[in-house]
């Protein structure tokens, strides 16, 4: 299986830290944020990783190179300085991801989830990792039912949770899409309407490292060993 780390965002909420450094290279726990993902993916058995980059993206390429010293093979999907958003960025990178389901992970989250656990059930176009709603996103994103179905609308017995930015996707999710700027969420919602999205809850560590304050929290948790 291949994986894609989404690292093309400008990191506007992280300014001024991201004025001269891409968010993916900001240090947390003594190493760049993106390196936590690369090492976790390698431990899970993933060796081919695609990274999309735009804002200050050459810094990411220069810092990580071909990935050999980290035990992986890195491939880069370079976008315009104005990123293609999540959906457009993944669509552009599909030729590097082949025809099998692939893992995606947002470059600005920190988690202890074991990527090797993810599976795409038969007939599904996506399997989402969901987390409890954090303080900054109390309304959540999607509903998870006891049968592992994911919907954008309420279901009996379902809980509204937050999408973690980690998922397994089938390339078929992007059938009919055209190159350009577009988000991933509408594609997921359309697939949910035909019962083709499943999910699971991750109860462990997950931090959206999207602001300087949450970056500091991630640093404190890693330093203290807090799960």
pLDDT in tens, the chain (227 residues): 999 999 998 767 778 777 788 889 988 888 999 999 999 999 999 999 999 999 789 999 999 999 999 999 999 999 988 889 999 999 999 999 989 999 999 998 999 999 999 999 999 999 999 999 998 899 999 999 999 999 999 998 999 999 999 999 999 999 999 999 999 999 999 999 999 999 999 999 999 887 888 888 888 888 765 43
**Structural domains counted in the chain:** 1
- The kind and range of the H/E element at 183 are none
Domain that holds residue 144: 3-224
Alpha helices in 148-226 (DSSP H): 185-193, 212-224
Nearest partner of 15 among 56, 58, 50, 52, judged by Cα = 56
For residue 23, the SS3 value is helix
Measured CA to CA, the distance from residue 9 to residue 22 in angstroms comes to 8
Q: What local confidence, expressed as pLDDT, does residue 227 receive?
A: 36
**CA 199/CA 128 separation, integer angstroms:** 4
pLDDT value for 225: 55
Residue 87 buriedness (CB in 10 A; 0-12 / 13-18 / 19+): buried
Instruction: Specify the CATH number for the domain of residue 17.
Output: 3.90.550.10
Query: Residue 186: its pLDDT value, please?
Result: 97
pTM recorded for the entire structure: 0.93
Helix or strand run (H / E) with residue 178: none
Helices and strands (H, E) in the chain, number of each type: 5, 13
User: What pLDDT was estimated at residue 153?
Assistant: 94
Q: What is the pLDDT of residue 226?
A: 45
């Amino acid at each position: 299986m291949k994986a894609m780390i989404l690292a093309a965002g400008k990191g506007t909420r992280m300014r001024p830290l991201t004025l001269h450094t891409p968010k993916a290279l900001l240090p947390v726990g003594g190493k760049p944020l993106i390196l936590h993902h690369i090492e976790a993916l390698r431990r899970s058995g993933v060796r081919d990783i695609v990274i999309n980059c735009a804002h200050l993206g050459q810094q990411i390429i220069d810092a990580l190179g071909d990935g050999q010293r980290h035990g992986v093979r890195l491939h880069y999907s370079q976008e315009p300085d104005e990123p293609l958003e999540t959906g457009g960025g993944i669509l552009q990178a599909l030729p590097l991801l082949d025809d099998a389901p692939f893992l995606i992970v947002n470059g600005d989250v920190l988690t202890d989830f074991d990527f090797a656990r993810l599976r795409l059930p038969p007939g599904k176009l996506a399997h989402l990792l969901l987390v409890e709603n954090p303080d900054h996103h109390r309304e959540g994103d999607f509903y998870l039912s006891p049968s592992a179905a994911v919907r954008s609308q309420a279901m009996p017995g379902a809980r509204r949770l937050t999408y973690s930015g980690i998922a397994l996707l089938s390339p078929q999710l992007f059938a009919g899409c055209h190159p350009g700027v577009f988000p991933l969420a509408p594609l997921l919602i359309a697939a949910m309407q035909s019962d083709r999205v499943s999910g699971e809850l991750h109860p462990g560590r997950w931090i959206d490292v999207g602001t300087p304050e949450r970056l500091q929290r991630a640093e404190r948790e890693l330093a203290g060993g807090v799960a």
